[in-house]
């Protein structure tokens, strides 16, 4: 949707220029020169505003695309952190289970060693 501030702006339209040439009264001619300058300024202003409008539309489109990409990346990172957190929790649980099993096995071996030591002491006392 292009906004045209002044539809009849045409740089080749020199209607006021023709009126200036035909004017006999210096005051009327001065007013027409001022009007022509205002008209030229309005034409230049309209062109500038339309160019800025086009640039802003391009910038807005690029900004929206960048924002959407950033939001998608952030969402992906949040999902990744949840997965990594769960994996770390599972790995810690498995590691803790192995440590408990190793400790239990060590205790069991310690008890077996103690019972064997007791039997050896009893056998040595019998042989004396």
Judged against a pLDDT cut of 60, whether residue 8 lies above it is answered with no
Task: Quick: pLDDT tens for 45-95.
Answer: 999 999 999 999 999 999 999 999 999 888 888 888 888 899 999 999 999
For residue 98, count CB atoms less than 10 angstroms from its CB and return exposed for 0-12, middle for 13-18, buried for 19 or more.
exposed
Q: Could you tell me which residues come within 8 angstroms of residue 46 by beta carbon, excluding any fewer than 6 positions away?
A: 4, 5, 6, 9
Distance CA(74)–CA(65), nearest Å, equals 14
Model pTM score: 0.47
Task: Quick: pLDDT tens for 11-44.
Answer: 445 777 787 888 888 888 788 888 888 989 999 9
Q: What is the pLDDT of residue 11?
A: 47
Q: Residue 23: phi, psi to the nearest 5?
A: -70, 135
């Amino acid at each position: 949707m292009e906004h045209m501030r002044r539809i009849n702006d045409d740089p080749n339209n020199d209607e006021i220029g023709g009126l200036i040439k035909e004017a006999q009264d210096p005051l009327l001619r001065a007013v027409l020169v001022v009007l022509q300058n205002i008209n030229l300024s309005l034409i230049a202003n309209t062109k500038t505003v339309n160019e800025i409008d086009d640039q802003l539309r391009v910038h807005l489109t690029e900004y929206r695309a960048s924002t959407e990409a950033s939001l998608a990346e952030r969402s992906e990172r949040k999902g990744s952190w949840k997965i990594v957190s769960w994996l770390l929790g599972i790995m810690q649980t498995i590691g803790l289970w192995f440590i408990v099993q190793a400790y239990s096995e060590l205790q069991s071996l310690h008890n077996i060693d103690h019972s064997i030591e007791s039997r050896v002491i009893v056998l040595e006392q019998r042989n004396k």
